[in-house]
């Protein structure tokens, strides 16, 4: 494969790790394979000697946003500056012109916002940082926003989740271009997974739902949060709310946006996550205390919700004693 040009547009308010993470992974491949076989990576910006990242770090571009010429990979980082970009922003307008002459268009974290503003994600599935996924979906309804994947590929368009997921994405690009052995070598050097297990859900904080407006449903909702270990099947919840089972199920879904069983499982998984992070109790005890009954039932719920089993979650997120 001949040398592949990668352009990273930078701007005020960029997230530095969205730039430096992929940069280091791609240049690691270049150092391994030789400059004539891998990548040239350039930072470009609109008419500034330097840009100030959202953390205050100063980044110096290699040159201006190019007005013409073929581009190998166009990699758009995220950050506060990216989230605020609108369709008439100069960077967005440049992306709209540059994308057709790019072999690959890539975003990291909230770099999906300027891509969406340019119309480059219309009709596609895309991901971004889990915290900002609802905002992206609301602002750009023509984009199928997926909050859980670490990265997504839709033809020549790739999108990645938050911050360090840019390294995951860069390794996937290296694997696509140069094979798994090269990508695995770079992953070892960076001390990261080539393909990390699970999705973004395991990193996201608990999802709190606003209290239901209907008092009877709020009574059941309060019970679920206060006592996840209790009998929270529909008959018990309906009785607690003073409603028939059928009417309760219908009103619960209407008020909270999901069936009772789905809501209960979500609350129990969040409760189990907190226990696994903070207390050195055995997994079967956590399962009992959080209402799953058995460790196997909890394991299936974790795989369904987070993509990883409880013991894996504990190893990666438990507080050090």
Distance between CA 206 and CA 196 in Å, rounded? 21
What's the pLDDT band for 204 if we cut at 50, 70, 90? Answer: low
295-305 helix and 310-317 helix, angle to the nearest 10 degrees: 70
pLDDT digits (tens, 9 = 90+) for 168-182: 999 999 999 999 889
Instruction: Show me where the domains of the chain are located.
Output: 4-202, 215-317
Distance between CA 287 and CA 305 in Å, rounded? 15
What's the pLDDT band for 212 if we cut at 50, 70, 90? Answer: confident
Three-state DSSP at 170 gives helix
Position with higher pLDDT, 118 vs 314: 118
Fold adopted by 4-202 = Rossmann fold (3.40.50)
Distance between CA 152 and CA 161 in Å, rounded? 9
| Tokens describing residue 152 | 């997504």
pLDDT digits (tens, 9 = 90+) for 75-110: 999 999 999 999 999 999 999 999 999 999 999 999
Place of tokens 């999802």: 207
The domain 215-317: what is its CATH number? 1.10.10.60
What's the pLDDT band for 321 if we cut at 50, 70, 90? Answer: very low
pLDDT digits (tens, 9 = 90+) for 147-176: 878 889 999 999 999 878 899 999 999 999
Looking only at the bridges linking them, the beta strands covering 51-52 and 58-59 are antiparallel
- Ordered alpha helix ranges (H), 12-66: 16-33
Tell me the mean pLDDT in the region 47-72: 92
- Ordered alpha helix ranges (H), 60-111: 80-83, 90-98
Among 60, 40, 58, smallest CA distance to 49 is for 60
Note if the pTM is more than 0.75: no
Buried-exposed string 9-40: b where 16+ CB fall within 10 A, e elsewhere: bbbbbbbbbbbbbbbbbbbbbbeebeeeebbe
Cα torsion 278, 282, 287, 289: sign: negative
What's the pLDDT band for 197 if we cut at 50, 70, 90? Answer: low
pLDDT digits (tens, 9 = 90+) for 236-251: 999 999 999 999 999 9
Distance between CA 123 and CA 127 in Å, rounded? 13
CB 16 within 8 A of CB 59: yes
pLDDT digits (tens, 9 = 90+) for 278-314: 888 899 999 999 999 999 999 999 999 888 899 988 8
Q: Which residues touch 281 (CB under 8 Å, ≥6 apart)?
A: 275, 289
């Amino acid at each position: 494969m001949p040398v592949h040009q990668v352009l990273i547009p930078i701007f005020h308010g960029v997230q530095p790790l969205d730039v430096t993470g992929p940069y280091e992974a791609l240049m690691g491949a270049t150092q391994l394979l030789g400059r004539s076989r891998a990548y040239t990576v350039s930072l470009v910006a609109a008419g500034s000697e330097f840009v100030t990242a959202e953390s205050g770090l100063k980044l110096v571009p290699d040159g201006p946003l190019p007005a013409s010429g073929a581009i190998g990979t166009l990699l758009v980082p995220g950050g506060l500056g990216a989230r605020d970009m609108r369709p008439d922003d100069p960077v967005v307008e440049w992306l709209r012109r540059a994308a057709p002459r790019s072999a690959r268009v890539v975003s990291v974290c909230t770099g999906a916002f300027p891509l969406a503003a340019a119309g480059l994600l219309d009709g596609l599935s895309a991901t971004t940082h889990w915290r900002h996924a609802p905002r992206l979906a609301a602002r750009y309804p023509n984009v199928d926003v997926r909050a859980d994947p670490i990265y997504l590929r839709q033809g020549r368009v790739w999108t990645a989740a938050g911050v360090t997921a840019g390294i995951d994405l860069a390794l996937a690009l290296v694997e696509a271009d140069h094979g798994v052995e090269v990508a695995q070598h770079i992953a070892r050097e960076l001390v990261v997974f080539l393909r990390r297990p699970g999705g973004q859900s395991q990193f996201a904080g608990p999802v709190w739902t606003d209290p239901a407006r209907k008092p009877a449903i709020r009574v059941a909702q309060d019970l679920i949060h206060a006592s996840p270990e209790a009998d929270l099947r529909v008959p018990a919840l309906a009785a607690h709310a003073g409603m028939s089972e059928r009417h309760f199920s219908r009103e619960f879904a209407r008020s909270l946006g999901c069936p009772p069983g789905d809501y209960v499982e979500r609350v129990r998984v969040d409760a189990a996550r907190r226990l696994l992070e903070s207390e050195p109790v055995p997994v079967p005890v956590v399962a009992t205390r959080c209402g799953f009954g058995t460790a196997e039932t909890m394991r299936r719920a974790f795989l369904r919700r987070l993509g990883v089993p409880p013991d894996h979650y504990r190893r990666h997120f438990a507080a050090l004693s």
